[in-house]
Amino acid sequence: MVKTDRPHSPVYGLMKSALDAHTLGLSHIAQLLQECGCRVVVGNSEISEAVDKISERCFFEKIKSWLIIQGISHLGFSYRLDPGQAVEIFGRLIAYVDADTQLSPLKHGLIRSIYFAGLPESCRLVEKHFGERVKTFRGDESVLESLKGLGIPDGLIPSAIVEDSVYDDIRLSFGKRLIEEERQFHINPHPRLDYKHYGTSKDHLMKRLDSSRQAGQLPLMRVHAGPYLKDREEALVLFSEWLRKLSGAGYLDIVSIGSSQLSQERFGEEWNDLPNGGGVPINNPFELRTIQEDASPMLVRTYSATNNIPHVARILEENLNMAWHALSLWWFNKLDGRGPLSLQEGLRQHLETMQFIAATGKPYEPNTPHHFAFRGGDDVAYIVSGYLAAKTAKHFGISSLILQNMMNTPRPTWGVRDLAKSRAFLKLVRGLEDKAFQVIHQPRAGLDYFSPDENKAKSQLAAVTALMADVEPDKEDTPEIIHVVSYSEALFLATPEVINESIQITRAVLEEYPAYRKKNDIHDIILNKDLKTETEDLYQDASQMIKDIERTTPDLYSSEGLFSIFRRGYLPVPYLWEERERFLQAIDWETKIIHGGVYVVDAAGKKIPMQKRLEKIKRNTDFYL
């Protein structure tokens, strides 16, 4: 990274590709810099389009004009798409800047520092080409790491940012020490359980939970696993080997099959030369039965179908003895490109499948809220979408709900915000509980949370497990299930060895963190007054939205009602990629990360109060009707 000795105050200019619809990360960094007293300019759509066409000199001239007019001295470039394209475009930008006497840091020009944010492979290539000239950001940096990497002195970082980062830093420090001491390798498998039907085709998750609770072996450990090979038969043979290894090791309780796109969309059909799309290529009942046998005594489940959903659910239940069924209400259809059905037809088939699930007595997992977070939804939408999915399940007679709660989503979410969001979420959904309906909490790490550095990723796995333990620190036997995301998530598909070590890390944290929490007075952070207020604010905003939805939506818990909620924009998805023209109200929102949480904001970047938000939905609904 090249710097000059010019004395003027730094001005940070941030720009990205127009092809990347996601802006939360960029706006988050901009806000952090502004809180440190820095002037920040984010390139508009014209600058983003110029980035993508920078091979033509005239488009660099637009960028140059922007740099000079704004007086930008510190240039940040974000490209989280193809690594080859990232290096090509960024390389052209550097070449133009270096050759320009007004801009070049090599010639004491305007630009003093240059930064690059992108995928791990993109960062590696940038570092290879430009060395220390360019500071790279892979997305696994903490708030303080990001600010220090951008050259902000400690004295300029506000105390509020430092204080809110303390909790995350404490957990990561704990995780790092645990990994350095290899505490995970002191963890042995639990003794086998011995209840009736254990490990057979008649086993049941609720029996496993009850027996594990009595034996003091909660939480159950669940992972998502499956190799990918081009040859279908070879892939199935390898997966069979993986299952026998995992079963033999004894660490894993529940395996979720990472089935292929074709398995989900065209189960039982002739695939011929259709692309598999990754994942385990299961295509008939015999293969399902073989998987169930190889996995025993582990419980097994797999993705639901994205086509003919009720029909395939019956096949899965009959041949795999599903630990539980999962449906992503509003998703896995044309809306996200994950399936062939329209949103309306997908919802109709999902609700028909819920009726079948209720009849089997099996639990159901609403694999829903994080899909809104992936597409720019705010924290209230996360909570409300999960609540509505849970109440829909209860409406259709399902008795047990697996409440998946994906933390670190989006990745810049602060740990204290995750605690507030999780507690508000649990309070709302548990409010549905009665003698006929129970909620089973299943937290997990975020998909893009883990570092491509293996040791750091292991420390992060420990840190997020500590976060899960802090959601309800004084309550026993919760969470009942942990979805363990393997530390290799950012590197490669987890093998049985990686999966087992990831479970060992998780269990080591659960054993050792309570004493660490007490010794370091972490209760003072996770149970303080401000956090309770933040939790209550989230709960009240979500409750207000739910009341408005229930008041204004006829036959709410039907495919038509759930479709109406989405169409009218109750659940913002500003980064929706597919069918944007069909759902103008759903995308007509701007969201922003503020103090580690995601909020709906106005044009000035200020939080929109819930009442104002509901008034906008009503105005837009009246207009479109």
Q: Tell me which of 380 and 24 has the higher pLDDT.
A: 380
The arithmetic mean of pLDDT across residues 365-374, rounded, is 95
CB of 308 closer than 8 Å to CB of 262 = no
CATH of the domain at 109: 3.40.50.280
What is the identity of the amino acid at 136?
Answer: T
pLDDT class for 3, splitting at 50, 70, 90?
very low
Q: Which helix (H) or strand (E) holds 510?
A: helix 496-519
SS3 of 441, please?
strand
Give one word for 332, left, alpha or beta, with left for phi > 0 and alpha for psi -120 to 50. Answer: left
Q: Which two tokens stand for residue 491?
A: 């590197």
**Which helix (H) or strand (E) segment is 366 a member of?**
strand 364-366
| Structure-token pair, residue 308 | 């003919």
Domain assignment of residue 580, yes or no: no
Looking at the domain assignment, is residue 88 inside a domain?
yes
Percent of the chain topping pLDDT 90:
86
pLDDT at 6: 41
Alpha carbon separation from 371 to 173, 279, 341, 367, 374 (Å, rounded): 30, 20, 17, 8, 5
Extended beta strands in 374-454, E state: 400-406, 438-444
Q: What is the mean pLDDT of residues 110-124?
A: 93
Name the residue among 96, 7, 99, 104 with its Cα closest to residue 56. Answer: 96
Q: How confident is the model at residue 625 (pLDDT cuts 50, 70, 90)?
A: low
Residue 110 domain boundaries: 11-157
Q: How far apart are CA 513 and CA 153, in angstroms?
A: 32
The yes-or-no verdict on residue 547 having pLDDT over 70 is yes
Q: 219 preceded by cis ω (within 30°)?
A: yes
Q: What does the pLDDT read at residue 1?
A: 45
Q: What's this model's pTM, rounded to 2 decimal places?
A: 0.90
Query: 312-348, pLDDT tens digit by residue?
Result: 999 999 999 999 999 999 999 999 988 999 999 999 9
**Contacts of 502 by beta carbon, 8 Å cutoff, 6+ apart:** 223, 461, 484, 485, 486, 487, 488, 494
pLDDT digit string, tens, across residues 392-421: 999 999 999 999 999 999 988 999 999 999
Residue 440 lies in a domain: no
Q: Rounded distance, CA 477 to CA 472, Å?
A: 10
Going 279 to 284 to 287 to 289, the CA torsion angle's sign is positive
Domain assignment present for 335: no
Domain membership flag for residue 97: yes
Single-letter residue type at 132: E
pLDDT at 2 over 90: no
Q: Give the model's pLDDT for residue 7.
A: 41
* 45 or 379, greater pLDDT: 379
Residue 23 falls inside a structural domain: yes
pLDDT at 436 over 60: yes
The pLDDT of residue 37 is 93
Which among 303, 268, 304, 262 is positioned nearest to 287, based on CA atoms? 268
Is 275 domain-assigned? no
Q: pLDDT for 30-39, tens place per residue?
A: 989 999 999 9
Looking at residue 253, the DSSP 8-state letter turns out to be S
Q: How many domains, in total, are found in the chain?
A: 1
- Type of residue at 224: H
- Mean predicted confidence (pLDDT) in 217-239: 95
Indicate if the pLDDT at residue 605 is higher than 70: yes
Does 582 fall in a domain?
no
275: confidence class by pLDDT, cuts 50, 70, 90: confident
Mean confidence (pLDDT) of the chain: 94
- Return the pLDDT at 566: 97
Which amino acid would we find at residue 251?
A: Y
Select from 409, 423, 404 the least CA-distant residue to 480. Answer: 404
| CA atoms of 613 and 591, how far apart (whole Å) | 12
